[in-house]
Amino acid sequence: MITRSTLGEFIISNQKHFKYSSGELSRLINSIRLAAKVVNHEVNKAGLVDILGEAGDTNIQGEDQQKLDVYANEIFMQTLTNREIICGIASEEEDDFITISGKDRGNDNKYVVLIDPLDGSSNIDVNVSVGTIFSVYTRVTEIGSPVRLEDFLQEGNQQVAAGYIVYGTSTMLVYTTGHGVNGFTLNPAIGTFYLSHPNMMFPEDGAIYSINEGYYIHFPQGVKDYLKYCQEEEDDRPYKARYIGSLVSDFHRNMIKGGIYIYPTSSKAPKGKLRLLYECNPMAFLAEQAGGKASDGYMRTMDIKPTELHQRVPFFCGSKNMVEVAEGFMKNYPENAEY
Ligand code: AHM
Ligand code: MG
């Protein structure tokens, strides 16, 4: 019988990657593991209890908040805050970042976390997969002082860890600390995550494209040209179109099967829809660690200089060769991006 290591065992055995580690990052991943189990429990029974539907509030970006968004946000915020293992946190669902340990006093921890507690939440009501995305940085301001905006506005290339949880047909936690990508599947009977997908890699090429083609008319010409290319009958094309509308799930499938995910700018959303800090950078870190690629169509996502917490950027992410072909089409037209 093959014995698979549990996430807990894996975290401990991988602490050796961090030379002068005090175990802070391990404790942080452990807390995310715990929060993921709690949220998973709630997401799974969503159809049973009166928790479905909208919470009646809107978040800072004017989008309706679903009840489970609010719940997931609370669980992740509470778990990470109460255990005092980080010094600050920013969430897609919160207007501003939060200093942990009160306003006037910081604590002695060095990591900040950025989180999208429940991505793709418009899918909850119809029993389609949703996900949590997280990203970890070392603060740049002095340890012990309250965190500041600059601790959160770091380039993605500074990430220490990133990952996601996909609440799908099975629940998986997939993460990287810069030493490859590993996936763990939850055994719901005993509440333990097992290493099920060691060393995940994007196939260099793929045959799936994921984009909301309903907005075709509003897309930049470079994207339209690339879509035409995807649909042409030549070599291994036409590709398959697969779009769940949950970034985490679309990414997860593409990483396993080979594919590209695109959320471009459009005349309706001139900066794109996805958030650089909560969605694109963590997924870009995972993609690169898995041999894939992520860009805004012109430059590497992780090299974009963030200017605001809830900043949006266009996103091209997936199998390396596919992203490069898409970028080739984009380069035929001048970039007019101003984030
Ligand atoms: P959300 O954070 O409000 O859930 O939005 C992000 C989601 C992604 O998961 C998904 O890929 C995309 O929005 C879908 O958007 P659209 O419905 O415009 O295609
Ligand atoms: Mg989101």
> What CATH number is associated with residue 304?
3.40.190.80
Please work out whether the CB of residue 272 comes within 6 Å of at least one atom of ligand 1. Answer: no
> In terms of domains, do 29 and 65 share one?
yes
Could you tell me the distance, in angstroms and rounded to a whole number, from the CA of residue 273 to the centre of ligand 1? 7
Please answer whether residues 275 and 311 qualify as being in contact, where contact means their C-beta atoms are separated by less than 8 angstroms: yes
> In terms of domains, do 221 and 182 share one?
no
> In terms of domains, do 126 and 100 share one?
yes
Phi, psi of 34 (to 5 degrees): -65, -50
pLDDT the model gives residue 332: 95
Please work out whether the CB of residue 65 comes within 6 Å of at least one atom of ligand 1. Answer: no
User: Is 40 contained in some domain?
Assistant: yes
Digitized pLDDT (tens) for each residue of the chain, 339 residues in all: 556 899 999 988 887 776 666 788 999 999 999 999 999 998 888 776 666 666 666 767 776 666 888 999 999 999 998 877 899 999 999 999 999 875 455 678 999 999 999 999 888 878 899 999 999 999 999 998 999 999 999 999 999 999 999 998 899 999 999 999 999 999 999 999 999 999 999 999 999 999 999 999 999 999 999 999 999 999 999 999 999 999 999 999 999 999 999 999 999 899 999 999 999 999 999 999 999 999 999 999 999 999 999 999 999 999 999 999 999 999 999 886 554
pLDDT the model gives residue 68: 87
Q: Which two tokens stand for residue 231?
A: 């649909």
Enter the DSSP assignment of 106.
-
Tokens 């921890």 correspond to 109
Closest CA to 176 of 197, 191, 155: 197
> In terms of domains, do 290 and 216 share one?
yes
pLDDT the model gives residue 67: 83
User: Is 11 contained in some domain?
Assistant: yes
> In terms of domains, do 272 and 155 share one?
no
Of the listed ligands, the closest to the CA of 114 is: 2
Last residue of a domain, one of 149, 171, 197: 197
Q: Which two tokens stand for residue 161?
A: 């860890």
Cα–Cα–Cα angle for 148, 151, 154, nearest 5°?
140
pLDDT the model gives residue 306: 98
Could you tell me the distance, in angstroms and rounded to a whole number, from the CA of residue 271 to the centre of ligand 1? 14
Q: Which two tokens stand for residue 15?
A: 């602490």
Task: Work out the number of other CB atoms within 10 angstroms of the CB of residue 35.
Answer: 23
> In terms of domains, do 44 and 73 share one?
yes
CA distance 284 to 303: 10
> In terms of domains, do 120 and 215 share one?
no
**Nearest residue CA, atom 5 of ligand 1?**
120
Range list of β-strands (E), the chain: 54-58, 64-66, 88-91, 98-99, 111-119, 130-138, 161-167, 171-176, 181-187, 192-197, 208-210, 240-241, 260-263, 293-295, 315-318
Please work out whether the CB of residue 273 comes within 6 Å of at least one atom of ligand 1. Answer: yes
> In terms of domains, do 222 and 312 share one?
yes
Number of domains in the chain: 2
> In terms of domains, do 25 and 141 share one?
yes
Could you tell me the distance, in angstroms and rounded to a whole number, from the CA of residue 64 to the centre of ligand 1? 13
Please answer whether residues 92 and 310 qualify as being in contact, where contact means their C-beta atoms are separated by less than 8 angstroms: yes
> In terms of domains, do 137 and 24 share one?
yes
User: Is 1 contained in some domain?
Assistant: no
Please work out whether the CB of residue 245 comes within 6 Å of at least one atom of ligand 1. Answer: yes
> In terms of domains, do 251 and 151 share one?
no
Could you tell me the distance, in angstroms and rounded to a whole number, from the CA of residue 132 to the centre of ligand 2? 8
User: Is 292 contained in some domain?
Assistant: yes
CA distance 73 to 117: 5
pLDDT the model gives residue 66: 66
Please work out whether the CB of residue 320 comes within 6 Å of at least one atom of ligand 1. Answer: no
pLDDT the model gives residue 337: 53
Last residue of a domain, one of 149, 164, 197: 197
Give the global pTM: 0.93
> In terms of domains, do 17 and 165 share one?
yes
**Nearest residue CA, atom 6 of ligand 1?**
120
For a mutational test of ligand 1's pocket, the pick from 54, 91, 92, 122, i.e. the residue with the most ligand atoms closer than 8 A to its C-beta, is: 122
Last residue of a domain, one of 145, 169, 197: 197
Instruction: Report H helices in 210-257.
Output: 221-231, 247-257
Full domain range(s) for residue 320? 208-337
pLDDT the model gives residue 242: 98
User: Is 203 contained in some domain?
Assistant: no
